[in-house]
């Protein structure tokens, strides 16, 4: 009998049951870390990132901010420890060879984020304070053109990026690619997927889920809230 793959079960459940159906994600965040953190340490980072974003976009806890956090491992690599003496069965003699070890790649995060509507023309006090730092060189306020309807998405994205980089610098990796934020819209197609929009983003962040145990390793159920009302239960 044909058995639906675990990856398909996970994706189908998320698409049909998660709260992104009501509040589609606006952004896909990819986060690299300063150190090779454990899964538990990354979950603590996720908790802090959630607080940072809430402080700016929902300080009074009036509207839902939805998160789906996914922890991935990078590609395995070879680590050299110097030289070792080995016996060559062809020459029947000893020789020096590299002492190597295959090590797991470092963990990183992909996160889907749905932000509530924010009237950027009437920013809350935390957002105003953040803007004073962001736009210090032009008087502490965004330029007028960023408040135009077609440009507000850019102001919102830059505010999100600045907030995370400013208050999460102690664990973010170095370089511009340590935090990459992409917008999610219905026409967007993500690497290695056929689906578009947030379904495509969901396929992308679940690409490492091949077996049942992968789901519990990849999905951060502590800091994600999109499945609070309908969690996934996988049967062997």
Give residue-wise pLDDT tens across range 44-89. Answer: 999 999 999 999 999 999 888 999 999 999 776 555 656 666 666 6
Contact 23, 113 (CB under 8 A): no
Contact 199, 18 (CB under 8 A): no
For the CA atoms of 16, 65, 123, 201, the dihedral, rounded to the nearest 10 degrees, stands at -50
- What is the distance between the terminal CA atoms of the chain, rounded to a whole angstrom? 15
Give residue-wise pLDDT tens across range 143-198. Answer: 999 999 999 999 999 999 999 999 999 999 988 889 999 999 877 777 767 788 99
């Amino acid at each position: 009998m044909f058995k639906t793959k675990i990856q398909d079960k996970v994706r189908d459940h998320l698409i049909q049951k998660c709260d992104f159906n009501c509040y589609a994600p606006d952004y896909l965040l990819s986060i690299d870390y300063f150190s090779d953190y454990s899964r538990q340490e990354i979950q603590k980072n996720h908790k802090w990132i959630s607080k940072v974003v809430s402080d700016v976009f929902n300080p009074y806890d009036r509207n839902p901010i939805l998160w789906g956090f996914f922890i991935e491992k990078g590609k395995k690599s070879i680590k050299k420890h110097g030289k070792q003496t080995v016996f060559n069965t062809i020459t029947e003699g000893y020789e020096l060879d590299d002492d190597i070890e295959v090590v797991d790649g470092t963990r990183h995060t992909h996160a889907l984020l749905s932000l509530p509507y924010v009237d950027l023309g009437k920013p809350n006090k935390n957002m105003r304070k953040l803007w004073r730092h962001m736009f210090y060189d032009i008087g502490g306020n965004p330029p007028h053109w960023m408040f135009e309807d077609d440009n507000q998405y850019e102001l919102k994205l830059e505010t999100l990026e600045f907030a995370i980089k400013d208050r999460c610098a102690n664990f973010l990796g170095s370089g511009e690619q340590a935090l990459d934020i992409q917008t999610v819209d219905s026409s967007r197609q993500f690497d290695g997927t056929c689906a578009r929009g947030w379904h495509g983003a969901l396929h992308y962040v679940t690409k490492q889920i091949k077996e049942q145990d992968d789901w519990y390793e990849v999905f951060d159920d502590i800091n994600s809230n999109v499945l609070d009302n309908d969690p996934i239960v996988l049967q062997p």
